[in-house]
Amino acid sequence: MKLSELRNGETAVIVRLSGHGGFRKRIMEMGFIRGEKVKSVLDSPMHDPVKYHVMGYDVLLRRSEAAMIEVLPEEEAKKELTPAPTFTSMSICETCSGNSCASCTLKKISTRRNNVINVALVGNPNSGKTSIFNALANQNEHVGNYSGVTVDAKVGSFNYKGYRINLTDLPGTYSIAAYSPEEIYVRRHLFEQMPDIIINSVVASNLERNLYLTTELIDMNLRTVVALNMYDELLASGAEIDYEHLGAMMGIPMIPTVAKNSKGLDKLLDTIIDLFEGNNKTIRHIHINYGNIIEEQLAPLSAELHKADDLPQQFPVRYWALKLLEGDKEVVNQLNRCMELPRWQHIAHNNSKKVQSQIGVDVETAISGAKYGFINGALQETYKPGNKDTQKKTRRIDRLVANRWLGFPLFILVMWVMFSSVFMLGAYPQEWIEMLFGWIGEEAAAAIPAGAMQDLIVNGIISGVGSVAVFIPQILILYLFISLMEDSGYMARAAFIMDRLMHKMGLHGKSFIPMLMGFGCNVPAIMATRTIESHSSRLITILVTPFMSCSARLPVMVLFAGAFFPDHAAIVLVGLYLLGIAVAIITARLLRLTKFPKDETPFVMELPPYRLPTLSATLRHMWDKCAQYVKKIGTVILLSTVVIWFLSYYPRPEERTENRVQSTENRVQRTENREQSTEYRVQRTENREQSDGINESSFIAMIGHAVEPVLEPLGQNWRSSIALITSIPAKELVVSTLGVLYSSDSDESIQQDLQHSGDFTPRSAAAFLVFILLFFPCIATISAIADETGSKRWALFSIAYNTAVAWIAGFAVYTIWGLF
């Protein structure tokens, strides 16, 4: 708990101090040191400040400051102590000359709590944060996935030298200003979560730009260690750097690392512990000089802020003053509790106008100029650029890959190879999985006596889950390609090549990849939008992806096109895909025009140098995606197949009792003569085929009848309505549902059964197809939308919008067809 929450008269042990360096130093000088006991003595009449007793003194502390100190109440510590643990003696206590007294044990407890270090990874995109994260957090246990509103952070924990380290992989940013959602996210994380230590990963061979973010961390005066990552590339280029000197100048320890091969990471961790324990010699707070004119205007503002007693202690006064002077929007959010904020803003506004009139540029530009000046100065003394051209390889490849004429065909070729591998190579393991589930189904059918239980397990769970599990190989192959493309740097080129086209849709080049993936499966496609930095582009991409006809819709299309448009099947298929794309484009344009008139992040995209992907990263990526998919199968899909099964099985029609009698007879017969079991199985299958047609009294039939009026204008009847409803959990279920609805004795052709049923004409079949195409893909997609947007509202919007579009388009097709 926080010290500010400690009630009058209660005692606690100090566990952790947060906030910027200056604050921590001041508070430590007053006796608030980890492991010390502190007692809340007296609330002032206004509840602020509070008098605390620590190290034999009475000290006054503001509530806002006390909130930065984490404590463990004595009562709780004692509870944790039963049964009393035995401690090995380390230091001799004055009162008990051992460590058995209450004060000693409390200290032990607090050390135990103390050993948790919260570390955050910040740095430019592509600087190797995730590589560091994986190399460190993968050492053992627990890696979780947390999605935020627009971006997400990964959290992992591991033990090192008796410490528990919680590591957070934050999204990549070029700075911690508050322009992009990522930047705001990172800043809020630093402000709200107050990590103990920051790892700032920088690309060693590209210090000038990478250290910009570091200068912002210097302003924030947070305990930071710089990981000079990709040190191998620096060495390869022949460059030299005196990083110890550089670190001393910037007041931040710097450790060379090669995250790809886990080199230098132990040293990095040791430094983290040193920083945490206050044993690092390099760290110190420096003020970057922003030049006389700015400093002159900054000083009076700082002085005003110093007077305030409600200023948050996460960052130093100078930082707040700088941000106010810059007119930073986020700072207003973070200081909104301060009484004097309006006055400060007023002063800041005036002062920044003065700066602008004197320098001729706005404060922000001037400050960032000064930051680059500081970096250049520091590098001048410590860095010697290499003479070997390491970019040569990249430039050569790019001359081919991003070539005006060759780039596009090459890209198409890559896509073609990717998709044909997905479908062709994936087909074999798919068949094996199909066989596996078929076998499991048969075995289960033989093992479980006929009846509701058998039907649930065999026709509900096994066939339902099986029909979705068969896509696992495709997903793995798809992600093999995507992972290779991402890690090598080709993905950025693909986005670059497609950017012009996507821009016409109001989207970003990077939107292209997820939309393309949507043809495979919408769920991973929506997850792949994470690479899009721009918030609005990402949202629009997420919302239009469901119109990309996924592979689950393909069987339905093939079935109907074959049955009702046998002479033009291919044209119908292509037409449907194109229709989906067209609706996606229209939707994107509409969203851009109405909800998101402007793309809030400027269009800049980095083309990183080509790098050889590592096997471990690729395999991890594939495994991650596979695990996510399997989890979905085990949850959403499983549940919905059970629900559908239930709805179509109950209530039981009267005649079923006969069946059941018959099946009991079967069972008797089976026990009587085992050798006839094959015969029995054939007979059983026949039985099922006869009884399997739609259960007309079931709930699902009732639902079909209820929904029929809504779909009647599209030429649908209650049976096709059921098929459309069962497509909600997964489009894969449509074909199997139709199979049940229209099943007859002949085995080969649901197709013919559909033709002969009289339920469909080409006209109503066309409407059905269009509806299936545009209707929302499946529950898994909707839940992916909810996860990735971080809001149920967008998921609901997607359901409503896609359903409406599907209905209108289906209606249009049916009506217009009728005119001819």
Binding site for ligand GDP (CB under 6 A): 123, 125-131, 172, 229-230, 232-233, 258-260, 487, 611, 614, 617
Q: Which does 148 bind (CB under 5 to 8 A by kind): ligand GDP, Mg ion, none?
A: none
Q: Residue 22 belongs to what H/E stretch?
A: helix 21-29
In the complex, least distance from residue 147 CB atom to ligand GDP, rounded to whole angstroms = 16
CB 789 to ligand GDP: min, Å: 22
Closer residue to Mg ion (CB): 198 or 741: 198
Closest approach, Cβ 608 to ligand GDP, in A, equals 7
Say whether 97 sits in a helix, a strand or coil: coil
Q: Using DSSP, state whether 46 is helix, strand or coil.
A: coil
Of 206 and 430, nearer to ligand GDP (C-beta) is 206
d(CA 584, CA 591): 10
Q: CB of 481: closest distance to Mg ion in angstroms?
A: 19
Q: Are 121 and 199 in contact (CB under 8 A)?
A: yes
What does 233 bind: Mg ion, ligand GDP, none (CB cut-off 5 to 8 Å by kind)?
ligand GDP
- Residue 89 interacts, among ligand GDP, Mg ion, none and using kind-specific CB cut-offs from 5 to 8 Å, with none
Nearest distance, CB of residue 195 and ligand GDP, angstroms: 17
Q: CB nearer to ligand GDP: give 144 or 651.
A: 144
User: In the complex, what is the shortest distance from the CB of residue 130 to Mg ion, in angstroms, rounded to a whole number?
Assistant: 3
Cβ atoms of 324 and 301 within 8 Å: the answer is yes
Choose from ligand GDP, Mg ion, none: what does 350 bind? Cβ within 5-8 Å by kind: none
Residue number with CB closer to ligand GDP (200 or 297): 200
CB of 607 to Mg ion, least distance (A): 17
Which of 122-130, 148-156, 384-392, 630-638 is the region at the interface with Mg ion (rule: CB under 5 A)? 122-130
Q: What are the residues facing 581 on neighbouring strands?
A: none
Q: Please state the closest distance from residue 723 (CB atom) to ligand GDP, in A.
A: 44
Smaller CB separation from Mg ion, 130 or 601: 130
Q: What minimum distance in Å lies between the beta carbon of 172 and Mg ion?
A: 6
Neighbours of 658 (CB within 10 A): 10
Q: Token digits for 722?
A: 């059921």
Contacts 24+ apart (CB under 8 A), 508-511: 508/532, 508/534, 508/537, 508/541, 508/599, 508/603, 509/605, 510/537, 510/605, 511/537, 511/538, 511/540, 511/541
Q: Which is nearer to ligand GDP, 426 or 609 (CB)?
A: 609
State in Å, rounded, how far the first CA of the chain is from the last one: 75
The angle that helices 472-488 and 426-447 make with each other, rounded to 10 degrees, is 150
* Smallest separation, CB 125 to ligand GDP (Å): 5
User: 230 vs 741, which CB is nearer to ligand GDP?
Assistant: 230
157 backbone dihedrals φ, ψ, rounded to 5°: -130, 150
Nearer to Mg ion, 203 or 765 (CB): 203
126 binds, among ligand GDP, Mg ion, none (CB under 5 to 8 A by kind): ligand GDP
Beta carbon nearer to ligand GDP, 326 or 533: 533
741 is in the binding site of which of ligand GDP, Mg ion, none (Cβ under 5 to 8 A by kind)?
none
State how far the Cα of 30 lies from the Cα of 19, in Å rounded to an integer. 15
- Of these partners, ligand GDP, Mg ion, none, which one is at the site of residue 183 (CB under 5 to 8 Å by kind)? none
Q: Name the nearest CA neighbour of 625 among 520, 478, 516, 518.
A: 478
Tell me which residue has its CB nearest to Mg ion.
Answer: 130
Shortest distance in whole angstroms from residue 460 CB to ligand GDP:
42
User: 3-state class of 158 per DSSP?
Assistant: strand
Q: Which of 4, 114, 130, 698 binds Mg ion (CB under 5 A)?
A: 130
Number of residues interacting with Mg ion: please give it, by CB under 5 A.
1
Q: How far is the CB of 381 from Mg ion (least distance, A)?
A: 32
Q: Which two tokens stand for residue 269?
A: 């961790």
Q: Are 684 and 638 in contact (CB under 8 A)?
A: no
Neighbours of 654 (CB within 10 A): 7
User: Looking at beta carbons only, is 131 or 663 nearer to ligand GDP?
Assistant: 131
Quote the least distance from Cβ 233 to ligand GDP, whole Å. 5
Nearest to 735 by CA among 759, 716, 754: 754
Nearer Cβ to ligand GDP, position 70 or 487? 487
Q: What is the DSSP string of 261-299?
A: GTBTHHHHHHHHHHHHHT--SS----PPP--HHHHHHHH
* C-beta of 124 vs 551, nearer to Mg ion: 124
Compute the half-sphere exposure of residue 140: CA atoms within 13 Å on the CB side of its CA: 5
With CB under 5 to 8 Å by kind, the binding choice for 230 among ligand GDP, Mg ion, none is ligand GDP
Give the range of 113-121, 128-136, 139-147, 623-631 binding Mg ion by CB under 5 A.
128-136
- Strands (E) in 110-250, as ranges, are 116-123, 143-147, 152-160, 163-169, 197-203, 224-229, 240-241
In the complex, minimum distance from the CB of residue 376 to ligand GDP, in angstroms, rounded to a whole number: 24
Distance CA 723, CA 769 (A): 12
Choose from ligand GDP, Mg ion, none: what does 614 bind? Cβ within 5-8 Å by kind. Answer: ligand GDP
152-160 and 57-61 beta bridge pairing: unpaired
Beta carbon of residue 640, minimum distance to ligand GDP (angstroms, whole number): 35
- Choices 123-131, 267-275, 495-503, 623-631 (CB under 5 A): range interacting with Mg ion: 123-131
Of Mg ion, ligand GDP, none, which one does residue 131 interact with (CB within 5 to 8 Å by kind)?
ligand GDP
Please say which residue, 130 or 798, places its beta carbon nearer to ligand GDP: 130
Minimum CB distance to ligand GDP smaller for 147 or for 683: 147
Shorter beta-carbon distance to Mg ion: residue 153 or 543:
153
State the Cα–Cα distance between residues 186 and 170, nearest whole angstrom: 7
Q: Looking at 125-133, 178-186, 720-728, 742-750, which segment touches Mg ion (CB under 5 A)? A: 125-133
CB 198 within 8 A of CB 207: no
The torsion angle over the Cα atoms of residues 576, 578, 584 and 586, rounded to 10 degrees, is -110
Taking Cα atoms as reference points, which of 70, 68, 37, 64 lies closest to residue 48?
64
| C-beta separation of 284 from 251 below 8 A | yes
Closer by beta carbon to Mg ion, 169 or else 753: 169
Which residue pairs, CB below 8 angstroms and at least 24 apart, start in 52-57? 52/3, 54/30, 55/31, 57/30, 57/31
Q: How far is CA 623 from CA 321, 574, 583, 614, in A?
A: 47, 33, 33, 14
User: Which CB atom, from 130 or from 352, has the smaller least distance to Mg ion?
Assistant: 130
**65 vs 45: CA distance, rounded Å:** 18
Stretch that binds Mg ion, among 74-82, 113-121, 126-134, 633-641 (CB under 5 A): 126-134
Do the beta carbons of residue 174 and residue 147 sit within 8 Å? no
- 727 touching Mg ion, by CB under 5 A: no
State in angstroms the smallest separation of the CB of 155 from ligand GDP.
Answer: 15
Q: How far is the CB of 499 from ligand GDP (least distance, A)?
A: 20
Binding site for Mg ion (CB under 5 A): 130
